[in-house]
Structure 1
Amino acid sequence: MPDEIEKTLVEAAEKVLDAPAKEAGEQLAKLINLIFTPLEILKINRDAWLNDYRDRISQKYNKIPQEKLVLPPLNIIGPALEASKYHIGSKELREMFANLIAHACNADMKSLIHPAYISILTQLSPLEAQILAGFRPKTEIKMGLTITSKTGDHEEILSNQEPSGVGTFTFPEIVLPIANYYLCKGTQEMLAQDNVIKFDECTDFGLISSSVANLCRLGLLQISFEGRVSNGDYDFFRNNMLYRQLEQDISNKESLSIRLIRGHIVGDYDRITIKEGIVRLTQFGYNFISSCVIESEVTQE
């Protein structure tokens, strides 16, 4: 980054703490404009994306209580804005970069922010961003108020207020079932498909598999075949398009067509074996979601 741009980044970041909240927001907007000026000069058709990105950052920034505003680390906000200009075509990644930038200005999030998040965001596909968000789904909770009075062993309920019409949501971690598919014959075993999870937004199991592998490579997910999810939908692994296709492959011995998996002729095998396990967030992955995927641990709508 040129010296003059770095100097401007430092000056703009310092003004966040020196100015009132409104002026601090204006400085952040100027910082965004500075980073994205080359794109606007080149007239790349990104006006709508850029406006949406600015709005997302501004809205999230304005929700931070003024007493929580801190000087955003230059090694976070500068590289994050610089890297994000190549990824604003994805709605999912615009949202994640906006969360990271806003959280970098929030004292409560300071301990969770890590410089590696920027590099990780640049290595995520929109599908991988969606899969990752599925490990901390939005969950509604009911909150009521009960007032009691206790005298000795006697306890009397004085007031019992039902939850209001305002929905309160949290983002608890969940553990998902995962499976590897093998084609077998005698003692021979061939991996047909690994890292299969149930993900309704995509039916391409090969694409899902590679996405899960990348999330593991980035240190966000971990897989274990030593246990099972107690309430997991493991029936899914024997009732999906992949399983039915493999069944058809090994049963249709007289077919003139030949299908290959990883260079192996599928018809040479006579049974399917499924190895089931669990996939969950690492602690690093949990912190990444808190910083980049969700705007707040608790929201009200």
Structure 2
Amino acid sequence: MEPLFTGALLGAAGSALVKAFDGPFKSIEDLWYTNFGYKTALKRAEYEAKVESFKQDLLKELSKIPKENQQEPRLCVAGPAMEAAKYFVEEDSLRQMFAKLVASTSDSSKFIKAHPAFVNIISQLAPFEANILQNTNILLAPSPCCKIRFQKKETDSKAFSFTNMSEGHSIIDHFITFDNLQIAPDELELYSSLLDNITRLNLCEIPANYTLTNDTLYDKYLNIPLLNSFLEQYKAELTSSEKITGNDVFFLKETVIPTSFGKMFFEACIRQN
């Protein structure tokens, strides 16, 4: 249960319970705290510690603003950001983004980039996605990615290699990895959905038929053991009707490109000063 709600529960119901435990039932009050109350107290203490971390994050970001650039924050951004942040203080990456956004509204050199929509965008990011945005250059420059399909084999094409699209269906619409981050076994699906969400939020786009000129940048996708194991298992689990003769797993080159909106988000919510 959320601390905000448990706090209210203890404030209203808790006071009633204390009164109910007066008199001969006083010892039950101690039993209640031992079995239930201390858990709420611990949860509240943990939450308050995270709120303090948010305060320190915010003070740290504000301290980086040159004196000549300091200004009153834009309330249309800072207000909703502070309101939303209370639900995300337990997630370090998201908490830090909110702190940077509020600080950006207080910096005359940045406030124009602190778009009101950024509050909702941060709120719609998973901690995993926020961590990717903070620790890669995906919002700074074009990055190689790929589509993975089970489709008809073209002449001279080899399974588990790059080719053009042909008749079949997608296994993974868009997939991306990063040289500085290793995929954990339980993160494969998260990497598969990452691009779906950040393109939905208009932070990036994946233009059709656009690939990077350096083909070697795509080679890494053919040598990911965790991904290959997943694809082999996918093939093994196909029904007999799906195992069409001549169809196999193939990769299609794609490129994810940051939008102007995404670059502005990076400046206001991520860039390290």
Is 53-62 or 37-46 further displaced after alignment?
37-46
Would you say 1:259 and 2:237 are equivalent positions? yes
| Paired residues of 2:147 and 2:174 also in contact (CA < 8 A) | yes
Q: Secondary structure at the match of 1:178?
A: strand
| Paired residues of 2:177 and 2:191 also in contact (CA < 8 A) | no
- Provide the residue aligned with 2:203 in structure 1: 220
1:229 CA displacement: 2.6
Would you say 1:175 and 2:142 are equivalent positions? yes
- Provide the residue aligned with 1:114 in structure 2: 115
For residues 111 and 278 of structure 1, do their structure 2 counterparts lie closer, same or farther at Cα, with a shift above 3 Å needed? same
C-alpha RMSD of the superposition: 2.8
Letter in 2 for 1:293: I
Q: Secondary structure at the match of 2:54?
A: helix
| Paired residues of 1:135 and 1:174 also in contact (CA < 8 A) | no
CA distance in 1, matches of 2:198, 2:233: 31
| Paired residues of 2:145 and 2:254 also in contact (CA < 8 A) | yes
- Provide the residue aligned with 2:61 in structure 1: 60
Deviation sequence 1:220-257 (CA, Å, 0-9, x none) = 0111242323445211221113234434654xxxxxxx
CA distance in 2, matches of 1:67, 1:249: 59
1:70 CA displacement: 1.2
Q: Structure 1 unaligned segments of length 5 or more: list them.
A: 1-36, 138-171, 251-257, 297-301
- Provide the residue aligned with 1:126 in structure 2: 127
Overall identity of the aligned pairs, in %: 28
Would you say 1:281 and 2:252 are equivalent positions? no
> TM-score, normalised on structure 1?
0.64
| Paired residues of 1:182 and 1:191 also in contact (CA < 8 A) | yes
| Paired residues of 1:180 and 1:194 also in contact (CA < 8 A) | yes
For residues 205 and 224 of structure 1, do their structure 2 counterparts lie closer, same or farther at Cα, with a shift above 3 Å needed? farther
Of Structure 1 and Structure 2, which has the larger fraction of its residues in helix? Answer: 2
The one of 164, 176, 190 equivalent to 1:197 is 176
* Higher RCO (C-alpha 8 Å, min separation 6): 2
Letter in 1 for 2:221: F
CA distance in 1, matches of 2:4, 2:189: 37
| Paired residues of 2:76 and 2:116 also in contact (CA < 8 A) | yes
1:136 CA displacement: 3.0
Deviation sequence 1:75-113 (CA, Å, 0-9, x none) = 111111000000111110111001001111000002211
CA distance in 2, matches of 1:41, 1:248: 48
Is 127-136 or 74-83 further displaced after alignment?
127-136
Would you say 1:234 and 2:218 are equivalent positions? yes
Deviation sequence 1:88-144 (CA, Å, 0-9, x none) = 11110111001001111000002211100001111011111122234438xxxxxxx
Is 48-57 or 223-232 further displaced after alignment?
223-232
Deviation sequence 1:128-174 (CA, Å, 0-9, x none) = 1122234438xxxxxxxxxxxxxxxxxxxxxxxxxxxxxxxxxx922
Q: Secondary structure at the match of 1:275?
A: strand
1:60 CA displacement: 1.2
CA distance in 2, matches of 1:111, 1:286: 13
Of Structure 1 and Structure 2, which has the larger fraction of its residues in strand? Answer: 1
Matches within 5 A, 1:71-220: 71-136=72-137, 173-185=140-152, 188-199=167-178, 200-203=181-184, 204-220=187-203
For residues 70 and 114 of structure 1, do their structure 2 counterparts lie closer, same or farther at Cα, with a shift above 3 Å needed? same
Q: Secondary structure at the match of 2:60?
A: helix
CA distance in 2, matches of 1:108, 1:216: 27
